[in-house]
Structure 1
Amino acid sequence: MKEFERKGLLERVDREGATVGASIPETIEVQGEEIALREFVFEIQRRETVPAGERERVDRAKKNLRRERLQRRQRLEEADISYEEGEEIVGSIVGIERALSALENLGATDIEREAKASEAADKKRWMKFLQQALGRDGSSSRGGR
């Protein structure tokens, strides 16, 4: 593969909207193991919330998918491969990205994220209360500041 072809393929992988319209691969080989990726993602998405036991499985899957994506990207960058092989790798990377995106956007899977959002809302309410108490909210009956 020529260097400009390699750069073009890497650009496709790095493009912001690369996953738009992309589908999750039916199966994918991760760390030498064949995984029914599409079925796994759809199974997890069907649930309103991910139970604690499944959360660990989802986190492990995301970690493995990220590792596989990185390995495939490195192969695309460094390996002596044909352009056709490069296109296959790009397709698989975009499919992995699509699956990761679907798994990242699951509802109520990240307790830390929920706690941070709750804490931020509490701080916002507290600041609003302090501003009102100190008469700095602009709605003061003392002529406003």
Structure 2
Amino acid sequence: MQEFERKQLLERVNREGATVGASIPETIEVQGEEIDLRSFVFEIKRRDTIPAGERDRVDQAKKNLRRERLQRLQRIENDEVSYEEGETLVESIVGIDRALNALEQLRPVDLEQEAERQAAADRKRWMSFLKQALGRDDGGVSKRGGR
């Protein structure tokens, strides 16, 4: 591969908006294992949030995808492939980026847990306000000397 061709491929990978219009690959080999990437991303994304039980699985998938992306990019940078192989790698890297973008946009918050946490914080603030407004300390005794 010529130097200008390699630079062209690398520019395509790093271009702003490279993932616009790109599709997530149906399957991809990551760490020697074939993964149904598109169905995995759509299955997780359909939920809009990452359930607590799936959080580790999604985090591991993102980590593996980033590692695979870097390895593919390094193959192009180190001139280990032909131009045609480089084009194929660029397409797969852009697809990986698209999948990572979709997974990064998910909210990792369990909405039910968050609502309970906010309600508990609201109750605590309300009780603090009432104690202050009524002039009582934690023992229920008025600061003015009476009950």
TM-score in terms of structure 1 length:
0.73
Residue 75 of structure 2 corresponds to residue 75 of structure 1: yes
CA contact (8 A) 2:28 2:35 kept: yes
Distance 1:109 1:103, change over 3 A: farther
Secondary structure of the structure 2 residue equivalent to 1:44: helix
Q: Measure the CA separation in 1 of the matches of 2:81 and 2:38.
A: 27
Distance 2:12 2:21 in 1: 14
Q: What's the RMSD between the two structures over aligned residues? A: 2.0
State the alpha-carbon separation in 1 of the partners of residues 59 and 69 from structure 2: 15
Measured in 1, the distance between the counterparts of 2:108 and 2:40 equals: 18
Q: What stretches of structure 2 of length at least 5 have no aligned partner? A: 115-147
Larger radius of gyration: 2
SS in 2 for 1:68: helix
Q: Report the TM-score when normalising by structure 2.
A: 0.72
Shift of residue 109, structure 1, vs aligned partner: 4.5
In the other structure, the counterpart of 1:130 is none
In 1: Cα distance, 2:79 partner to 2:35 partner = 24
Q: Which amino acid aligns with 2:100?
A: L
Aligned residue-pair number: 113
Q: Distance in 1 between matches of 2:99 and 2:35?
A: 12
Shift of 1:50: 1.5
| Paired position in structure 1 for 2:17 | 17
Separation in 2 of the partners of 1:48 and 1:103? 10
**In structure 2, how many angstroms separate the alpha carbons of the residues matched to 1:109 and 1:94?**
27
Aligned to 2:34: 34
Q: Tell me, which stretches of 5 or more residues in structure 1 are unaligned?
A: 115-145
Letter in 1 for 2:62: K
> Corresponding residue for 1:91?
91
Q: Distance in 2 between matches of 1:7 and 1:50?
A: 38
Q: Secondary structure of the equivalent of 1:19?
A: coil
Corresponding residue for residue 100 of structure 1: 100
**Cα separation, 1, equivalents of 2:107 and 2:78:** 37
Q: Which residue of 2 aligns with 1:63?
A: 63
Counterpart-to-counterpart distance in 2, 1:56 and 1:80: 34
Q: Is residue 51–residue 108 contact of structure 2 (8 Å, CA) maintained in 1? A: no
| Residue type at the aligned position of 1:51 | P
Aligned to 1:34, the other structure's residue is in SS state strand
Deviating 4+ runs (over 4 angstroms) = none
Asked if structure 2 preserves the Cα contact closer than 8 Å seen for 1:25 and 1:92, the reply is yes
Distance 1:29 1:4 in 2: 28
Structure 1 Cα separation of the partners of residues 61 and 34 of structure 2: 13
